[in-house]
Amino acid sequence: MKKVPEEIILYGEGVDSQLLSSIAFYLRDRLKIKVKIEELHYRENSPYLLASFRIRNPQGLRFEPHPLEVELERKGIIGNSPPKGVIYDGWAFMRFLRSILPSCSLSKLQILISSRLLSTPEEGIHHIRTILLGYPSIISVSGLVEGPAKAKEFYLSRRLFGDELIGYQLLSENSYLKYNDPRLPLVLRGYVLQAFFYQAFGEPFCFDRGCCLYNAHWQKELIYAQLESPYELCPFHQQLLERWMISAEQ
């Protein structure tokens, strides 16, 4: 599924429009490509389907949703505020999105930035994800906060004291992302580029820890790759992008 997109369409769910505009502005500037922000068009049965994607255990068990859960999804759609703290089956959610997109042409790169927590299985156990690459690609803002692991001290203190607060005190303030972190818009830039590289070149990830395409498993790695590294893309990926931009101009 490789095709350099001619246009990027951004969707948001549970995120503010200012954030989407800033990402659209960045992508236009960085890739010299058309970027539009559009709304998702949910259907009558969407609340029910969304509620059915909740996973109930680490193995990804799902069952018939409770009417209250369906109601919560309905309110979430109306208020642009999906339920918090709920984990959804990421691939099922992606298939659902595909079914409500107006078009699935590969000449468009479609990206949803969502506040939902999404998980996919690895060796039978579900893990929270920061990004799901596919059609559409989905970036989870909550996943950026909760997916990559914090420093070991955090988990050790939680185990010893049963208290997350003590764990947080052991972490240095800027070593992990928080909800409403002012650095989130900058971090998201690297993740939308991952979605772009995935569709355009079939290569979303990089082994260079300083490249924004680095697949971070730890908060520390994420912060370094997206914010602290002296460059955005590594020389290899920067060159790949430049070559594409030159050929696109011709």
Residues that bind Zn ion (CB under 5 A): 206, 208, 211, 213, 234, 237
CB-nearer residue toward Zn ion: 200 or 234:
234
- Least Cβ distance, residue 192 to Zn ion (angstroms): 15
Check the CA dihedral 23-191-114-99 and report its sign: positive
Contact of 241 with 233, CB cutoff 8 Å: yes
CB-nearer residue toward Zn ion: 160 or 245:
245
Burial category of 111 from C-beta neighbours within 10 Å (exposed 0-12, middle 13-18, buried 19 and up): buried
**Per the structure block, which two tokens stand in for 7?**
């246009």
What is d(CA 77, CA 52) in angstroms, rounded to the nearest whole number?
A: 15
CB-nearer residue toward Zn ion: 24 or 187:
187
- Least Cβ distance, residue 179 to Zn ion (angstroms): 28
CB-nearer residue toward Zn ion: 219 or 229:
229
What is d(CA 141, CA 129) in angstroms, rounded to the nearest whole number?
A: 10
DSSP collapsed to 3 states, 75-129: HHHHCCCCCCCCEEEHHHHHHHHHHHCCCCCCCEEEEEEECCEEEEEECCEEEEC
Cα radius of gyration (the chain): 18
- Least Cβ distance, residue 242 to Zn ion (angstroms): 13
List 119's β-bridge partners, or say none.
Answer: 89, 128
Residues 6+ apart with CB under 8 A from 201: 2, 4, 240, 244
CB-nearer residue toward Zn ion: 119 or 229:
229
- Least Cβ distance, residue 237 to Zn ion (angstroms): 4
Check the CA dihedral 160-166-172-178 and report its sign: positive
CB-nearer residue toward Zn ion: 121 or 210:
210
CB-nearer residue toward Zn ion: 113 or 213:
213
- Least Cβ distance, residue 139 to Zn ion (angstroms): 18
- Least Cβ distance, residue 110 to Zn ion (angstroms): 23
- Least Cβ distance, residue 29 to Zn ion (angstroms): 20
